[in-house]
Structure 1
């Protein structure tokens, strides 16, 4: 819980009263590697902060899954479209390593919004972070080569890439594992 408090203190001036209200709603959830946090058809009920771990967003397919996102430590995670609409998700979330999350339920977040002075700002910051990641991903797919997307991922999270299977990285940057192999060979 210390990490999430540090995250907010960098962003906003949160009073002890507001922190007490906010932190009293947080639920610590621990998951082993390869755990599905959410499956297609389930409704996302949590907005979570990753204390430790790596999470993959993907659409399951019969032959191969389509990975379209990763989330790392000290970031928020949610199937946010499902969370805010409270409708079933069309994709899945899976842990790629042992993971610790600090989570708020949808109902608890609504209470935080109404009971604290800082609640709306915290919610806005979390949603802005999730939006910016999505926007950055979309723009990279439109404007960058697969090699550049790989290099960006490698530059942003080099110590974490060793925990992500290459087939997921290839899917994320929009190429086959064989094409990723050629890129890796070319840049090494």
Structure 2
């Protein structure tokens, strides 16, 4: 009974989120539900590994995900996601080649996944799901672009203050080292900025 309640609650929340992006008919919502898999994972579990094929999109039901890559012995955090955030290795999904990114849990997490092949089949069957996918990818792209502009044109303190405004919960929950990497600054710089607020 607990597993059923857990699954229903997380997927209902996700469907409400999808419906806030674009309306879905009951038939389309049911078709999406049939393709969703909800699982619990411990902290530091790798869902996607760098240089492996990407096959799924991941939505945070509860917990936190991080996307990162390893370069010259260092880990670079490219995305941090809390509840209802979609994280995927989009480069691998779209190119059908091994991905440049890792995706891992940073907390004990409830993760909803959908196979990209299932999603493409849903796009063919339901115009409204295709629209949802397009809007979600557009949102994802715009967030990535905003992040790149921020790294290029804003100071470390401006980037921190922006995150404080747009996603304050992330500042409370994300480990300091990963947060610093995500902001493109050193941990020492982040500590100095935080000490001023």
Post-superposition shift, 1:155?
A: 2.6
1:8 to 11, 18, 23: 18
5 Å-filtered alignment, 1:152-163, equals: 152-163=162-173
- Say if 2:24 and 2:129, in contact at 8 Å, map to a contact too: no
- Say if 2:55 and 2:93, in contact at 8 Å, map to a contact too: yes
Post-superposition shift, 1:61?
A: 4.0
SS state at 1:56 partner: strand
CA distance in 1: counterparts of 2:57 and 2:191, whole angstroms: 35
- Say if 1:50 and 1:73, in contact at 8 Å, map to a contact too: yes
CA distance in 2: counterparts of 1:46 and 1:109, whole angstroms: 9
- Say if 1:96 and 1:163, in contact at 8 Å, map to a contact too: no
User: 1:78-112 CA deviation, whole Å, 9 max, x = no partner?
Assistant: 11111122211112111111122221101101110
1:57 to 62, 67, 70: 67
CA distance in 2: counterparts of 1:152 and 1:180, whole angstroms: 14
CA distance in 2: counterparts of 1:44 and 1:29, whole angstroms: 18
- Say if 1:76 and 1:129, in contact at 8 Å, map to a contact too: no
Post-superposition shift, 1:158?
A: 2.2
SS state at 1:150 partner: helix
- Superposition RMSD in Å: 1.5
Post-superposition shift, 1:141?
A: 0.7
- Say if 1:40 and 1:88, in contact at 8 Å, map to a contact too: yes
Partner residue of 2:57?
47
For these two proteins, the number of residue pairs brought into alignment is: 187
User: 1:28-62 CA deviation, whole Å, 9 max, x = no partner?
Assistant: 12211111111111111111221112111112245
